[in-house]
Amino acid sequence: MADVNDVETPAVSAAGSQTLAGADHATTNGVTQEAELGGDQGSEIHLPHDPEQIQIMVSSQEAIHDVRQSIIELPGTLQYSCFHLEHNGERINDFIQISEVKGLTSDSAVTLVEDPYTEKEARLHTVRVRELIGAAGDRTDTLHGILSGISLHDSVTAAESGLNGPFTAHSMSGYDFEAPGELSSLLPETQEQPPKTVKSISVSPWNPPPYHLKQRGHLLYLLLTTSEGEQYQITSHVSGFFVNKSTNSKFDPFPRGAPKSQSAHSLLTLISNLSPSFAAAFKKLQDFNNTKEPLATFQITNATPSSPWIVPSSTSPLTTHQADITRTQESFLISGIENTETLRDWNEEFQSTRELPKETVQDRVFRERLTSKLFADYNEAAARGAILVARGEVAPLNPTEGKDAQIFVYNNVFFSFGADGVGTFASEGGDEAARVATGKDVLGVRMVNQLDIEGLFTPGTVVVDYLGKRLVGQSIVPGIFKQREPGENQIDYGAVDGKEVVAADESFVPVFEKLSKALKVKKHAVWDKEGKCHFLEGSVETKGLLGTDGRKYVLDLYRITPLDISWMEEYGTAIGSTEQANGSAETTYPHRMTVLRPELVDTYWKFKMREWVNSELEKRRQNQTETSGPTKKLGSKDLAEDGSSAVKDKPEVGELKEADSNSTALGKAADIDKDRIDVSNFSFALNPDAFSGQEPHTDAEKEQLAKDEQEVRLACEFLRITVLPELVNDLREGDVGFPMDGQSLSRLLHKRGINVRYLGKVTMLAEGKRLESLRILSIQEMVSRAFKHVAGKYLRYLPIPLTAACISHLLNCLLGADLNPKPKAEVDEALISLYPDADLDFQKVSPESLRGELESQILRRFQYTIDKAWYLNIKPLQLLREVSLKLGLQLEMKEYRFTTQQIKSPVESTAPVNGIAVKDNGANGQSTSSKKKKKARDGSPASIASSNVCSPQTFSPDDILNIVPVIKEASPRSSLAEEALEAGRISIMQNQKKLGQELLLESLSLHEQIYGIIHPEVARVYNTLSMLYYQLEEKDAAVELARKAVIVSERTLGVDNAETLLSYLNLGLFGHASGETKSALGYIKHALGLWKVIYGPNHPDSITTINNAAVMLQHLKDYHESRLWFEASLKICENVYGKQSINAATLLFQLAQALALDQDSKGAVNRMRESYNIFLNELGPNDKNTKEAESWLEQLTQNAVSIAKHAKDVQARRIRLSPRVTLGQTHPQPQVGQTAQAATGRDPRNSMGLDSRSIDELLKFIEGTDQTAKAKKRPGRSNPKRRGAVVS
């Protein structure tokens, strides 16, 4: 894997050296080639063929197999795949580090020696050559969907590339803020087809070799048809490849005689020798590949590629299905005739990887890298198996049991359904409880994996939701199926057979103790059915199993936190409630698995720590006879809002930190007179079995349990009284980035420790205009989640061929009722007759009955009574997206019509203005249009301009092109890479810039090495580093990293994921800062297009974006267009924050400047007066902003008067006196849930400043004589609440 230790800036990353197409500095004509691999030393490699030798830069820490990989991927050495390296005539082991090779120095030469092939090597060489020469065709994959892992970056860049000349227009000309979102913005442009190098290359019908020829070294027989139409039968032999004498009808696999004899060690070389046009075509293909962004074409190996929810039609050139005989042969080529090579002992691999040493940094890198790849491989294998199980392709091990109780083994993965097939969860809520338990279990396994406790092992665990079924795939723990002796328990620690028997093997105590300490779980008493008391370290539900391999496994981690008793008592699921969780009452919550989130327990632990520290300080103050100064109390400001130490601001959800690191942070904050309070005396833990029906016997036991229960109750109240209102308040005040869709909203809630079941409470708290967006989003999320459950009910046992009809009918009832109030399910009668037992209840669903089901689900799951007219106010396009992502749908890209209104033409299609369009619009109709736009009609921003042909129903079964699984997995994050990133951040904050940059580069290198280049964590680190480099004035490096963040986000998270959108906004911002303003506007325009699809118009954070775009337009001296953008930004701001808000005043201030530049001096004076009045009322006459506005108001007034008096000199005076907004003062977009100052890196204590320059300075700036002004930073603002306003 590549390394970047020697690179000055991250603009040159490992990515550059890892692509076949990307090494344009390499040649194949004998000139030395270089591959930057992290240079400690140069190594010369001697080759058996032309170009005879190459030079590569390597790091002494790299393994030899990394060097091999580099050789394989260089354009001049593509043909080698079966070889070894030698030094001084001695073979070098592939799995040692370069530094371990005896006698190897920086000027040593290494020789590449071609090896004889084995059958496996020959097969893999064939697969590789097919891919290299572009002969591989398209593949249909059971797991990855249509266009999975796609990137739009190249399309967006291509659209803007023609606009960077000095006289060309920019892409924002005539931008329509009111136009609805276009689904076509989620798909790439149709690209030209790559040049063809051969007609076909496949396995010959004569394959495999008969026995007697296998003995003589024959491995495979291939069939090649060149571009000239010549057909060659080729033998793959241990010595290489040669043309044989076979024909289609005659078998003679021996070499042809001269002059037609051709042979070579590499198949690539052989094809080149046989086809005269091949070399030129192959060069063209490489050039074609070179035009593409390498990151967009890399194979994704360590992550699941994102599958878009909108895909082109099956006839589109993007998804053409070609004839390719070898497509069916690929599984043979990859895994052999027996298919045994792909079978792996997953459990043994997981556990032996965990047992690898982790003493040195190299050990940790190797271990974490192996872990990352292993989890990725396992997740893919488990998801593939789960799909086959769901489709009925795998035979159950217990076919006589009911459907939900059946278990399966496929590819060494054990599968079961996430349903209560055997009644384990009967008292907890049946199927509903079982479903939730599997999801919580994955979360628990991930936490244990992250904690990495020595001696404690977890099975590989994946949960897959597919077509209404939930499947759990686990690696097979040795001994889990073993029949124990009579009297022996199946489990060694925790509950056995329900909770009737409790096992407490003492050997498990040490490892469970470590786990419980990290998870803040209290050692507590539990009682079995005979009333015997056992003391357990973890929840009674968490089980310990001693595997037959001697390892201690922890299973069933769905109850590592206590039950949310406040919720259970309020909604009838607590033990002893009048309405038990059997769903007797309509409003009862569906199950009893309502636990608190680990993040909440963490936050509450910090809160209790703060209380304890303050009480210790108070005691110390009282004990001191002489006080040397006032005692500092540790207040909430000493901890960041999300509970992490104030130094850190991680935008990651579900962050896990061990107790001691938090203790240190709190200890620092609690310094008093150089005497530190010893926080190791503080202890706090919760009993996870409180309120779970335990029955103590003695008074002491009862008293202890009552104490435990009170502690849990206080934690539940802390969630309701403190955490929930704090989050809503932060969003109201604009203190954190605003969520855009269901996924970003859920992540934000989870990060704060709030369960999604509290969405109803969030909706109730979201009052007023400022939180209208939150209310709309919360309702949309509740509806989409309810729909997921309703659809799951109908899909769960439905035969696969009928699922598209079911889904399209349910979507018509949900979103198409305005177009057709009585939709009918389009089901093929011939198919129905094939499945006489199929449950076709979905056909009876009507829009009214579906609404009833959804309202009932929302009431039960979120305890929220939704307004009866909710369906009139939803945003159809956005709801369709949410539903598709939750169910894994891939829909055909077309103009879906949700209403009966005929949209006349794209030019006229506009959105509603100011307020809510009752019928078709999502309840968020503030228009971003300027005053000069046409009056908007009452149309839906989500409905898309439709063709004039009126279709009877919005969706048909043919629109559902594919369904992909939704996967929950348990892979841990790399602690080593994150430590380096954190150290780099802290160094920069302490002004150790050089050390900080080195650490950041080290972190980037570690992320790329451990995760591979294409991985969501790598996208996040690219994004974080790009912002840090931007703040360090390293503009070019910031742009390069932001570009990588965009591409990797698109490919792993989704082209329309909220994180991808933010990455595009940052790329635009940094591009503008480095002088590429027209390209930057192209990225901003694309991001705004995504925003319209994800959320609709008028998102609170788009105020910042539109304002940034307006500033960029001023840089291009397009003052009129810029003014329109400022007006649009102000309009949303007034809608969200109110006309008299400071945010509005700041935007009015900027708009006044923009109007002055647009030669509208009267308008400028009026706007500046409005701004001044708001500042005066809100901040008082002595505030810096008020004085600033007053000074500008005077100058603008004088300017207006003088213009009126001296009509002749109008132009000159305007140029002289036109005030100017400070240029280049755009702001980074904060991540969802991230504070504004964390995004900008500014000190929140600075006072807010507007434009503090004099007119003369601005004049110099406008005329270009003030070169230093561009880098000048505007002072920070006193209040991050104004984030949406001052974007300067």
| The pLDDT of residue 1286 | 33
Closest by CA to 158, choosing from 289, 291, 16, is: 291
| The pLDDT of residue 484 | 74
Exposure of 550 by Cβ count < 10 A (0-12 exposed, 13-18 middle, 19+ buried)?
exposed
| The pLDDT of residue 1269 | 33
Strand pairing report for 889-892 and 310-311: parallel
pLDDT band, residue 260 (cuts 50/70/90): confident
If one compares 627 and 1044, the residue with the highest pLDDT of the two is 1044
Inform me whether the pLDDT recorded for 893 exceeds 90.
yes
Q: In this predicted model, what pLDDT tens digit does every residue of 195-217 receive, in sequence order?
A: 889 988 999 999 889 999 999 99
Inform me whether the pLDDT recorded for 659 exceeds 60.
no
pLDDT band, residue 1245 (cuts 50/70/90): very low
Q: In this predicted model, what pLDDT tens digit does every residue of 1269-1286 receive, in sequence order?
A: 333 333 333 333 333 333
| The pLDDT of residue 25 | 35
Q: Quote the percentage of the chain above a pLDDT of 70.
A: 80
What 8-state DSSP symbol labels residue 720? I
Helices within 571-721 (DSSP H only): 598-623, 659-669, 699-718
Inform me whether the pLDDT recorded for 858 exceeds 90.
yes
If one compares 674 and 60, the residue with the highest pLDDT of the two is 60
If one compares 721 and 481, the residue with the highest pLDDT of the two is 721
- Once rounded to an integer, what is the mean pLDDT over residues 634-644? 43
Inform me whether the pLDDT recorded for 707 exceeds 90.
yes
The b/e string for 1053-1090 (b: 16+ C-beta within 10 A; e otherwise) is bbbbbbbbbbbbbbbbbbbbbbebbbbbbbbbbbbbbb
What 8-state DSSP symbol labels residue 563? B
Q: Which residue has the tokens 């998801």?
A: 383
Does residue 519 sit in helix, strand or coil?
helix
Inform me whether the pLDDT recorded for 4 exceeds 60.
no
| Cis status of the peptide bond prior to 725, with omega within 30 of 0 | no
Q: What is d(CA 309, CA 1055) in angstroms, rounded to the nearest whole number? A: 10
Q: What is d(CA 544, CA 458) in angstroms, rounded to the nearest whole number? A: 10
If one compares 445 and 677, the residue with the highest pLDDT of the two is 445
Angle at the Cα of 655 from the Cα atoms of 644 and 1031, rounded to 5 degrees? 65
Closest by CA to 66, choosing from 20, 102, 90, 98, is: 98
Q: What is d(CA 699, CA 694) in angstroms, rounded to the nearest whole number? A: 14
| The pLDDT of residue 668 | 45
Half-sphere exposure of 65 (CA within 13 A, CB side): 5
* Maximum average pLDDT range among 89-103, 672-686, 754-768, 926-940: 754-768
Inform me whether the pLDDT recorded for 1223 exceeds 80.
no
Q: In this predicted model, what pLDDT tens digit does every residue of 729-755 receive, in sequence order?
A: 999 988 788 999 999 999 999 999 999
| The pLDDT of residue 633 | 52
Is residue 898 within 8 Å of 920, Cβ to Cβ? Answer: yes
Average pLDDT, the chain: 81
Q: Quote the percentage of the chain above a pLDDT of 90.
A: 53
If one compares 328 and 805, the residue with the highest pLDDT of the two is 805
Q: In this predicted model, what pLDDT tens digit does every residue of 361-370 receive, in sequence order?
A: 989 999 999 9
- Once rounded to an integer, what is the mean pLDDT over residues 97-115? 84
| The pLDDT of residue 1233 | 66
- CA 9 remoteness from chain centre: 25
- Confidence (pTM): 0.84
DSSP string of 83-108, one letter each residue: EEEEETTEEPPTTSBGGGSTT--TT-
Inform me whether the pLDDT recorded for 356 exceeds 50.
yes
The b/e string for 971-989 (b: 16+ C-beta within 10 A; e otherwise) is bbbbbbbbebbebbbebbe
Inform me whether the pLDDT recorded for 603 exceeds 70.
yes
Q: What is d(CA 761, CA 38) in angstroms, rounded to the nearest whole number? A: 53
pLDDT band, residue 967 (cuts 50/70/90): very high
